[in-house]
Amino acid sequence: MDKPLNEEQLLSRAWTLFAKDDYAGVLNVCQHGYTHGVRSYDLIRLMLDSLNKLGKAQEQAEVTLKVLGENEYPPKVAAKLYFRAGLIFQHQDNHDEARKIFQQVKILDPDFPGIEQRIKALNPRRSPSGSSRYSYLLETGLVTAEQMARVLAQDAKDPDLVLLTDYKISKTDLGESLARFYNTEFVPFSPSKEPPFELFEKRRLDPDFLKRYGWIPFSQEGQVITVLMTNPFDLGRLDEIKFIYGTSHIEAKVALAADIEQFIEHFYKQIGGGDDLAAAFDEDVEASDTSGALDISEAELSEQDSEVVRMVNALLVEAWRKNVSDIHIEPNPHARHCMFRFRVDGTCYEFRKVRLALARPIVSRLKIMANLDIAERRLPQDGKIKIKLPERNKLVEYRMATIPTLEGMEDVVLRVLASGKPLPLDKLGLSARNKTTFERMIYKPYGLILVVGPTGSGKTTTLHSALSYINTPERKIWTAEDPVEITQEGLRQVQMQPKIGLTFASAMRSFLRADPDVIMIGEMRDKETAHIGVEASLTGHLVLSTLHTNSAPETVTRLLDMDLDPFNFADSLLCVLAQRLVKTLCTNCKEAYTSSAQEVMEMGMEFGLGWEEHAREFLQAKPTLYRKVGCSQCVNGYRGRLGVHELMVNSSGIKIQIKHRKPTEDIRAQAVTEGMLTLKQDGMLKVLLGLTDMEQVRAATG
């Protein structure tokens, strides 16, 4: 790079390379800019991020200190740079250097989040006779040094509990000792404390997880979240909490382990609506001998029975707590039980079995809640249930469908519509390149954008994320959906009613008379809707919709088969985003391993052209992949789901293919030539990042 570039040009080039994961290239561009006098924070940050991606932590710290020594930045900017260097030294266990750097951060920005706590945690520890959790007890003579030594020698027991029970130390005195050591407030258990519902709503935390790691969210004032911890000096745990809540504004207060457990049980009892769910259900019902006569007495149990009401309420609440997407209720007259199954992250698993006599009363109770006909058992029915959770004003919707099965029974499927707000666009799992391109497309003033994939692939979620990104007061946005699952302020959303003639096509025609800027159609499922959508996009409107096709190139063929004019369609189409959902590896238990040469070769063959380019960093370094293990926080080694995508932009080359009605294979070849990554290729790059594994990618993409 001979010719000096200005700051905007440098950053543009650097971000382009960063999106392609070419971190060595980013480093060269940033170093070139720095040499020629461009020393903005953005450029320095890209340089440091690239060094981090290349695994050069020590060099990253040295560059940071060098830059700070050679330049003058505003105090808050300099504080950010010093903090990054301090973290590196801390992770290298160079606590003296880390402490000095964090002290410099405090001088530059006294309000820097959590800096005092980090400095305090890195202060040199003195011997137990000097400073420890129990120094106050020793100084006041409440315990002797010999007694304390005996307490600490009992590794199997909690020292706090031993002091309280065996040595009769009051909780007040013990709390004072802990407060002085950690320089924070001691919080004892109080049964009058109300749970911080908003914090539990924000992140669904497992109570066993909280007990295991000794902390609990306690309150929130403004942006500051207060948590109780047994050890507020545990920086690793604090960083984990900050990641969970997505904020650095975390204040830790100290509490006894026993009190934290009491808080957890107290909070969850109120959040869960009283008794634990397990108490609402019978013990697991094993399959029994079916040779005898089936005995279901509805006289004994009705839909109004307290046991049935309590069980249904507990089931709905527990599904929400476990982040379940679907509840399946399946009576089995032959095995003489009714099974409840939960779908989590796309996979069904057995939750519980109850005795068969409860099946009909449970179904009837759900029908009453959904305003359905409890006497009709021969025909399928659809409805919706709204319940208010024990939290303040927390409403959760369940879309209910009943289907008649053998021997007069009915299956019930409940879709949990607990997510009332769209996901941010950067949470969809789009690669940097796809995200940048997609954002550019949805900001176009007119045209047609399609999101495609099978049922349950997250198409509606993606559309609403896109709408949320462009949802401003300057834009009038109409949506036609069936059903409306996600609501957004600012959108005018219409529920389809086919029985009365309110279809996607009729809604589209009405929208065009209502001065829209953006129109979202739930699905282009017929010729009429497709034709109106294309016409709307050609007349100055941005139209977004979904389609059930397997890939982006196949979408073109499918729509042309609907008798769309190829010239109009080619001119209207902006892009097609195909997607699938794959399970992500649990971050708590996933295991790193060095992949074999054979495995790497097979991945390269499966990826196809461009493998060396996209996997350059992986191939140059020690080829490390991750595999599932399994722990208490996940299901079979997986936790959550991630999108894999295939974004086809309608370039001039693609337009020619469409106008000449070329087959799918030709369109795909043209798109790949222009840089499109297929679904499998995008998934494989996420395998290299350690987010998922090849088993999930192959299962989702074929």
Tally the residues of the chain. 702
Mean pLDDT of 425-449: 91
Instruction: Give yes or no for residue 294 having a pLDDT over 60.
Output: no
Residue 257 CA, chain-centre distance (Å), reads 29
Instruction: Give yes or no for residue 274 having a pLDDT over 80.
Output: no
Tell me which of 420 and 45 has the higher pLDDT.
Answer: 45
Give the separation between CA 382 and CA 386, rounded to whole angstroms: 14
Q: What is the pLDDT of residue 173?
A: 87
Contact (CB, 8 A) for 359 and 378: no
With bands split at pLDDT 50, 70 and 90, how would you rate the model's confidence at 75? confident
216 burial via Cβ count (<10 Å: 0-12, 13-18, 19+): buried
With bands split at pLDDT 50, 70 and 90, how would you rate the model's confidence at 131? low
With bands split at pLDDT 50, 70 and 90, how would you rate the model's confidence at 382? confident
Give the separation between CA 361 and CA 341, rounded to whole angstroms: 18
Instruction: Give yes or no for residue 283 having a pLDDT over 50.
Output: no
pLDDT digits (tens, 9 = 90+) for 625-657: 999 988 877 778 888 889 999 999 999 999 999
Q: What is the pLDDT of residue 92?
A: 66
Give the separation between CA 13 and CA 18, rounded to whole angstroms: 9
Give the pTM: 0.56
Which residues make Cβ contacts (< 8 Å) with residue 51, sequence separation at least 6? 27, 57, 59, 60, 63
Tell me which of 131 and 181 has the higher pLDDT.
Answer: 181
Lowest mean pLDDT among 95-109, 280-294, 433-447: 280-294
Tell me which of 679 and 206 has the higher pLDDT.
Answer: 679
Tell me which of 502 and 222 has the higher pLDDT.
Answer: 502
Mean pLDDT of 475-496: 86
| 3-state DSSP assignment of residue 652 | helix
Which residues make Cβ contacts (< 8 Å) with residue 220, sequence separation at least 6? 196, 198, 199, 226
Q: What is the pLDDT of residue 418?
A: 56
- Determine what percent of the chain is predicted with pLDDT higher than 90: 27
Tell me which of 191 and 326 has the higher pLDDT.
Answer: 326
Give the separation between CA 464 and CA 489, rounded to whole angstroms: 12
With bands split at pLDDT 50, 70 and 90, how would you rate the model's confidence at 241? confident
Instruction: Give yes or no for residue 6 having a pLDDT over 50.
Output: yes
Q: What is the pLDDT of residue 202?
A: 62
Tell me which of 359 and 447 has the higher pLDDT.
Answer: 447
Tell me which of 287 and 370 has the higher pLDDT.
Answer: 370
With bands split at pLDDT 50, 70 and 90, how would you rate the model's confidence at 137? confident
Give the separation between CA 83 and CA 32, rounded to whole angstroms: 25
Instruction: Give yes or no for residue 393 having a pLDDT over 80.
Output: no
Lowest mean pLDDT among 262-276, 446-460, 591-605, 620-634: 262-276
- Max mean pLDDT range (111-125, 391-405, 406-420, 597-611): 597-611
Give the separation between CA 546 and CA 226, rounded to whole angstroms: 43
Q: What is the pLDDT of residue 270?
A: 60
pLDDT digits (tens, 9 = 90+) for 334-360: 877 788 999 888 888 888 877 787 888
Average pLDDT, the chain: 82
Q: What is the pLDDT of residue 123?
A: 64
Q: What is the pLDDT of residue 544?
A: 95
